[in-house]
Amino acid sequence: MESRHIHVNSDSFFGGVGLRPTHYPHLLSQGAGRVQWFEVISENYMDSFGRPREILKKIRQDHPIALHGVSMSLGSPEGLNLTHLQRLKQLIHEVDPFIVSDHLCWSKWGAHYSHDLLPVEYTRESLQGLIGNIQQAQEFLGRQILIENVSAYVQSTRAEFTEWDFLVQVARKSGCKILLDVNNVYVNAVNFGFDPMEYLRSIPPELVGQIHLAGFTDMGDYLFDTHSKAVHDNVWKLFTKTSSRLQQVPVLIEWDDDIPDFHFLEQELHKAEIIWNRTHNLQGVYEESNLL
């Protein structure tokens, strides 16, 4: 597949959603509407050579694709799984994604993989391990990757950095960029009692390569990052405040459980577009909204 380049204005909105099987019929019959690009979970397609892979190739003919991984386990002290990286590299060769990303976490121990994205300790030891693993992944894949900040429900007493300072150090020293999940920032801010705007202001705009927006579930004592609800008003407010600092970066509405119909995702994406255009003083979409 020959390389395809994305041409957009430096401040223009570039919005996408996750490609999910439940939406295949809609996309094949009615198209993508206002959705400009799609993100897929890399592992769902790395070993699938049936209909999902064919649908992905068909969607790729008209829309840029981002590959978003959940199993690279960049925070693992054991190092990376080279077989996993080789399978990912093959998918990259076939799909020619404009973004390849994974998470700031670990998920494997020996031959065992966790279904959760387990947070790393914010220590100098963890920092050095992450930098080495990210650099190895980038060299193996032959491209820069993005790493996403994750939601968490426990904190280490050994932390030597704040989460945001740790994230910035990892990006600067490894040469990767940040996939900034605004929902995860808010979830952790509530769960651990810090100011989410201090976090967002501490992330240099030039390190941000993508934005995620998603919904959480309020469990009473804590917030749980379920990706099963609409984006919360407080997350929209944080997006408003941080988007004004950014030039053009891809923005994604992320939804993984209790997935609504495609039109609802388009509406959520349209809200993000309204906010982006307002904060960048762009012409186009300025209708009234009760978000802010």
Domain positions in the chain: 14-279
* DSSP designation for 10: T
The helix/strand/coil state of 161 is: coil
Within 13 Å and on the Cβ side, how many CA atoms surround 168? Answer: 13
- pLDDT, residue 207, reads 98
Q: What pTM, to 2 d.p., does this model score?
A: 0.92
State how beta strands 146-148 and 99-103 pair: parallel
Q: What was the pLDDT predicted at 185?
A: 98
- Local confidence pLDDT in tens for the 292 residues of the chain: 333 445 445 678 999 999 999 999 999 999 999 999 999 999 999 987 788 899 999 999 999 999 999 999 999 888 999 999 999 999 999 999 999 999 999 775 555 565 667 789 999 999 999 999 999 999 999 999 999 999 998 888 899 999 999 999 999 999 999 999 999 999 999 999 999 999 999 999 999 999 999 999 999 999 999 999 999 999 999 999 999 999 899 999 999 999 999 999 999 999 999 999 999 988 544 444 444 4
- The token duo for 159 is 């932390």
| Cβ–Cβ < 8 Å for 144, 177 | yes
Rounded Cα distance between 228 and 101, Å, is: 21
Q: CA of 197: how far to CAs of 39, 126, 156, 207, 233, in Å? A: 27, 25, 22, 17, 15
Superfamily of segment(s) 14-279: Divalent-metal-dependent TIM barrel enzymes (3.20.20.150)
Quick check: 166 and 203 in contact, CB under 8 A?
Answer: no
- In the block, residue with structure tokens 């904190």: 155
